[in-house]
Structure 1
């Protein structure tokens, strides 16, 4: 003891130990978890209830561990039941046609690998593909004002009668409505106009990857250039359709067009005089009518703007079309397979006017639409509800006809294309029993994603910490949002370094933080 009292080195040693205590030895993740625990204990005396964002649409569950779910399940279940009861009362449905299904366990969804070829160098377009149905399609380009009609409004989709609509389902030489219908001279143009230079460019494209952003509804996601071969960069057209409002926002975000109108691989094409006030419906024009916009194209790939192309387009075409001998490929929905369920979900979430949904759904039932039966070995499709964010198609007559028919349903009824997919396909098949349409509807993940899962900002850590606190007495909802992660995840550069607390009077995180929708889709990927 006396020796230790005489040693002058005792103080420095304590200093070093003190430094060790405060040295940031814990990882960033550990500090965040510690902070979350401190918040939990500090809020507990005030009666706060923890609610996972699993209860906000069920879109985040695959990023939360089972142990975490175990601790918060009780409050989540009670909260979800309250929300569903309120939504059922507000939406006012529950008739004979649709009954709310009982609560079921939410399945977890993860992206999966698919067997794309490694290189495009040795890809050869098959010459012995099935003999796809052959016929000739022409399109209505102008409608004259009917005699005796005083008020006549030109419409982009035209004014097809029910008789013309019925005839258009026949796979034979015909002229049908398929958008881009102009009125008589003197009437205003019906919309979706391009500059002549852009129109000339698009007329040369034979293989196309396209997407769109209208009404400044999203931000630009560039294809992953290192995943795209030099062949595709030279021979595939990558076209992003925007309106002038979105173009201005792109410039503010740093996406400046070069002399050729390119941002990365995207050729940005401005669509003027948009045909619909509903931007979702306007987006269906490039989604379904690529064979009209790109008249020389033989293949096209459609990506919703929430997706990022993360694989070579020629490898995608080879895998989904050439390898399966298909002329149209689309993914089935990751959760729902029956139109009855999709109608219920759209009404429950107020995705569209409920009266319009009922009118469309009742019309389809009267024309033969039946419930999807997964136990039926003869069911014509493995799912009646698609995930329409991704479409790969050959521009064959049957593929073009189906695309026109599907667009016409969106033009006539609601813009919710998942409601009309099965009806359109089944009616086309029923009308032409001896003329096959080779549709590949798959449940596999597609190599395109809203955000690269390999980002240095750990998406799993983020999802585990994305919790909401429901303050019932004050009517406030507090969301912990990693606001600094949004750009980092997009650019795949830096780790998350800060977190933001957003206080709102709504339960919907989407309303308080617009980029939340991005994480929802990033977690699901494509299915």
Structure 2
């Protein structure tokens, strides 16, 4: 072995001698090491990763779009509606709101109003500065009911005094009801009770269906996960039971208003006041007939006339003038512009001194008769209770058992059938009797308007005394329960798709270009306690200033959108600006007072939507 090692060493150090390495060993040395083969992903993992990426991209795109919509209105700017908008000129680039284009606005409308018992107005008014800090597009924060001593929009100093009259008033009301004769309500009260029960049943059934569907979904998820993990199955089933067992608390029936109101105990000693000398006096006339302009080919007469912007500007002056205010006819031989009434009905309305009016068009509501036990005999004789409706609505009421008697009445309501409606939009048609009561009742001195979803629960004479006569007002309307700035109202209308967004934008930009500013609650010199009204209940004296305001407001609704809450503040402020020496005595009262004298019901359409959503 030693000799063999010595030879091998000498060969390595001496002459180079080729050493033959076996081929197998040579192959092993030269071949590089192969990398490990990548493991193939299972199809399930690939599907999950792909689905996650798709969901992430969808979420980012949706978030980006929502940011663009929220930033459509610059809430921190002054007078700027859109970020990239140019200065809006006062020249309108669209036509009058004829209602002939697009669908009925009731199809746009998803009424965001909560039931009267679902909100507390003082919660909204308590901390107005929070709305400024957090932006108008957020819901106001509620902090409970144990606050609000003396702040807010209104003077609360008289609450303690009004509290002392509560017991006295309730006792007198009980005595009055015991002595007063029982009136025949023609089954209306019983019908309302039945409808209330039906509504509550529908709400309960819809809630039950939602709970059952939630339970079904939870149980399916639990069953799906049971095969994979028994421990998780127990947790998910327990959570499913708790989810299904949690029911939303039922809303209690609204028992009254949060406002203390001191109505008179009786109408026996009530005397209508003489004409108030502080009200502005001027002669207001109306355009009845329009002639065809020369050189026009496609001209057609319109119910509201063809008021240009210059005529619109001049109409805001409280002076002797002739303005457009609906009921405009075309030249002789032209077709009717709409809102046709029977001659007997016209004569009846001319005889009214005090009118309580409402309307139902497009079969949108049930007939709500005023609460007869609180309507005195004196008011039954002196007040006209008139409700306007189309033939379709009358047929529906007749099929439901509410038929007119020989004199054209259903209970207290005098039924006035309107033929040839001036607009295809039923909401816009409803603005005619709402704003133009002084045109429909030319001899009336006072009128009270009720939306068809409200039921009157006070005597009309006591309402006039409380809202107008007591402090010398000529127009009374409540503020909105939740929103007080037009900026907020615009956002809400667009959020709920209450009308065409483009037209809302154009109207809002036009108002800003004409000087409309944000509502400032802290301004001690503000002319209104709120810029947004709750316009379902209006009390007015038919004075020249009140009639002018009603005409101006109607013209804004006719020109732009039928959402009258958008144009109220602008119309009022412009009227005050154009007439600094003539005061319009407007009483914008708290909405809880409106709730105290009226009861809110659902629209027919809302009830149908409930059943449709339940089926889905």
> Is the aligned partner of 1:332 residue 2:332?
no
Number of the residue aligned with 1:323: 470
Q: Deviations over 1:41-76 (max 9, x none)?
A: xxxxxxxxxxxxxxxxxxxxxxxxxxxxxxxxxxxx
Shift of 1:208: 0.2
| Offset from partner CA, 1:1-59 (integer Å, 9 cap, x none) | xxxxxxxxxxxxxxxxxxxxxxxxxxxxxxxxxxxxxxxxxxxxxxxxxxxxxxxxxxx
Task: Name the structure 2 match of 1:101.
Answer: 137
Shift of 1:116: 1.2
1:450 match: secondary structure: strand
- Give the equivalent residue in structure 2 for 1:525: none
Describe the shift of the 1:107–1:359 C-alpha distance in structure 2 as closer, same or farther (beyond 3 A). Answer: farther
Q: Is the 8 A contact 1:88 1:348 kept in 2?
A: no
Shift of 1:341: 0.3
Please tell me the root mean square deviation across aligned C-alpha atoms, in Å: 2.8
Cα separation, partners in 2 of 1:216 and 1:91, compared to 1, 3 Å: farther
Mapped partners of 2:409, 2:533: distance in 1: 31
Determine which of 563, 578, 585 is the counterpart of 1:431.
Answer: 578
Task: Answer whether contact 2:353 2:446 (CA < 8 A) is retained.
Answer: yes
Q: Structure 2 matches for 1:224-243, cutoff 5 A?
A: 224-243=371-390
Query: Is 1:371 the equivalent of 2:518?
Result: yes
Give yes or no for the alignment of 1:206 onto 2:353.
yes
Residue 404 of structure 1 is aligned with which of 548, 551, 564?
Answer: 551
Confirm or deny: 8 A CA contact 1:331 1:441 kept in the other structure.
Answer: yes
Q: What SS does the aligned partner of 2:593 have?
A: coil
Offset of residue 510 of structure 1 = 6.8
Task: Kindly indicate whether residue 598 of structure 2 is the aligned counterpart of residue 449 of structure 1.
Answer: yes
**Equivalence for 2:491:** 344
- Distance in 1 (CA, whole Å) between partners of 2:361 and 2:542 is 25
Counterpart Cα distance in 1 of 2:613 and 2:380 = 30
SS of match in other structure, 1:175: strand
1:343–1:316: structure 2 CA closer, same or farther, 3 Å change rule? Answer: same
**Which residue of 393, 406, 409 corresponds with 1:262?**
409
* Match in the other structure for 2:294: 147
Over alpha carbons, which structure has the higher Rg? Answer: 2
Q: Which has the higher strand share?
A: 1
Map of 2:609 onto structure 1: 511
CA distance 1:85–1:178, change in 2 (3 Å): farther
Aligned match of 1:125:
272
How many angstroms apart in 2 are the aligned matches of 1:383 and 1:188?
A: 42
Q: Secondary structure at the match of 1:281?
A: helix
Match of 1:395 among 529, 536, 542: 542
* Offset, 1:154: 1.1
CA distance in 2, matches of 1:102, 1:209: 38
**Deviation, structure 1 residue 449:** 2.7
1:308 paired with 2:344, answer: no
Which stretch shifts more, 108-117 or 156-165? 108-117
Distance 1:350 1:106, change over 3 A: farther
User: Which structure shows the higher helix fraction?
Assistant: 2
* Matched residue count: 383
1:247 corresponds in structure 2 to 394
Deviations 1:396-428 (A, max 9, x none): 000000000000000000000000000000000
TM-score, normalised relative to structure 1: 0.69
The 2-side partners of 1:415 and 1:85 are apart by 32
Contact 1:156 1:191 in 2 (8 A): yes
Structure 1, gaps ≥5 residues long: 1-83, 453-485, 491-507, 517-527
- In the TM superposition, residue 106 of structure 1 has moved relative to its aligned partner by 5.1
Displacement of 1:127: 3.1
SS at match of 1:221: coil
Please give the TM-score of this superposition, normalised by the length of structure 2.
0.59
Q: Does the CA contact (< 8 Å) of 2:136 and 2:487 recur in 1?
A: no
